[in-house]
Structure formats: structure tokens, C-alpha cells
Amino acid sequence: MQWQMKHYTTLDSTNLEAKRIIQSSQADLSLNQLHGLIVAAEQQTGGKGRLGRMWVSQSGNGLWFSAVIQPKLPLEQAGLYSFAAAVSVAEAIAQETALPVKLKWPNDVLWQGKKLCGILCELVARTKTEYYIVIGIGINVNQQLQEFPPELHDKAISLAMIARAPVDGASLLSTVLQNLQNNCALLESEGFARIRDKWKTWNCVLGQAVSVQQQGKELYHGIAEDITMDGALQVRTPEGVTQVIAGDVSLRSSSGANFFDAADAVTE
């Protein structure tokens, strides 16, 4: 597959634009044109986060892009591509900057509890058998603290703030895309096990006390034990073991106070 880039100065959201392109294109244009399409924008006026939140991306100093793929895995396994995407970003940041980032379930990329990158995967079905995934990736690259709204100052961070030097966004983008291609191919050829193993090497959640919220309500407290082969987070609670398929996870200190939940707050 060749990635093909459509670059914009400003968009409402690269995910929205990618979905508009998929939905408006003719059936016979499908495979070659859509699989591998990258929609990238210097700025987003309506960046979308997970769970209906907004994603702050007015700054021209971040990487805001969406990769369109036509998956080989069946629709029920579409969620696994978001783990491949998170691993691809973590690997790329390590390759480009040598910074050892962490992954928080399902696909937040963190530095010391602060959010560096968020990923929003959305499905678009064109027919019963033809579906696409829009993998939206937002990476805080060269922003300085004052470019984030005050309420995010203790929750978000950029690579340049960590490295104390500018980071080459174009090079980072190309490394993420290379990794994404390799990791999606690995997922499709060998199943989830290898991507899951890679994800675990970067994760900061397993073995930790966590709380899980859905729609602002705290649902579970417990110890995050594992990721299932469906990508669910397995949490041991006082009531038993539960599998979380959607929601926000906060790490908790042993005193019970939220230790950090940057990934959740940063998009609100």
C-alpha cells in the first residue's frame, strides 16, 4: 500500500473530512483511492476526541491527521486496529526522539501522566461487506505550554516541551505512517497476539489500581489485569473480574485518589 496525502491548511476535523471523502466517492473508485488515504490539516477548528469530546487542535504546531484503511479483518475485530495505531505512535516517538512514552488503555499516549497523543478510530460502512476505518491521530509536537488552554496545563504536554527542543513533525509523521502500515499488516497476518504483546511493553495500566468511568459515571474500581484477545481491559474488582470494552480509565494511587487521568480530561 502507498499512503496518499491530502493536505489542508485548516479543516473542521480530519476525521470528518476523511468520512466525507469516503461517503462521497463512487463505488468504482473505492479500493485504490480510499485505502491508504491520509487527510492531514495544519489546524482543526472542530477536532474530535473520543466519547464525543472535543480535541484542542487549533495550534499549527501539532500533527493532526487521519489515515483511511480498508481492513482485512472482519468488522467485529475493527477495534483492534486502534491498538496497532497506538503502538505505531509509541514506536515512532521512540525512533524519532528516544522518549519512552507510555500507553494507557485503549490508545492514549502519555508522558508522565500527561497526554501527548490521542487516537480516534471511526468506522464507515459503504456496503454490507465494504467498510473502512478512519484512524484519527493527534500528536502534540511543538506546542509550548501557553498554546494549550489553561485547564489543560497540567494534563497535556508536547514532545518539544519534554525534549526542550523542536521536533521534526514531517519526519515523525512519515515514521508513524511506516509503522502503521507494518503494524496493520502484522495484525492482519498474525492476529492480535503480536500487537497485544507490543502494546503491553508500552503500557502503564496493567497491574495498577484503576477506576473506570462511562459517561462521567464511575463504574468500577479494581486492578487492571490484562487485555483480552478482543482488546477489552480485564479488571479485577471486589465483585469479580469484569471486561471493559469502552470507557475512560484513570490510574489511582494506593490511597484511592486519582493518580492521573490526563487522557480523559484533556479532551473535555
C-beta of 140: minimal distance to ligand BTN in Å?
A: 10
Q: In what order do the strands lie in the sheet with 62-69?
A: 4-11, 37-44, 62-69, 131-140, 114-125, 108-111, 102-104
Q: How far apart are CA 201 and CA 203, in angstroms?
A: 6
- Edge-to-edge strands of the sheet including 240-244? 240-244, 233-237, 217-227, 209-214, 248-252, 258-260
Nearer to ligand BTN, 136 or 169 (CB): 136
The packing angle between helices 169-190 and 80-97, to 10°, is 140
Give min distance, CB of 233 to ligand BTN, in A: 16
Q: Which is nearer to ligand BTN, 211 or 267 (CB)?
A: 267
Closer residue to ligand BTN in complex, CB, 17/96: 17
> Closest separation between CB of residue 137 and ligand BTN, Å?
6
In the complex with ligand BTN, the residue whose CB is nearer, 115 or 252, is 115
Nearest distance in Å: CB 213, ligand BTN = 14
User: At 209, which amino acid appears?
Assistant: A
Residue, CB closest to ligand BTN: 118
- For ligand BTN, the binding residues (CB under 6 A) are 13-15, 44, 47-50, 53, 55, 57, 64-66, 108, 118-120, 136-138, 267
Minimum Å gap between C-beta 26 and ligand BTN is 25
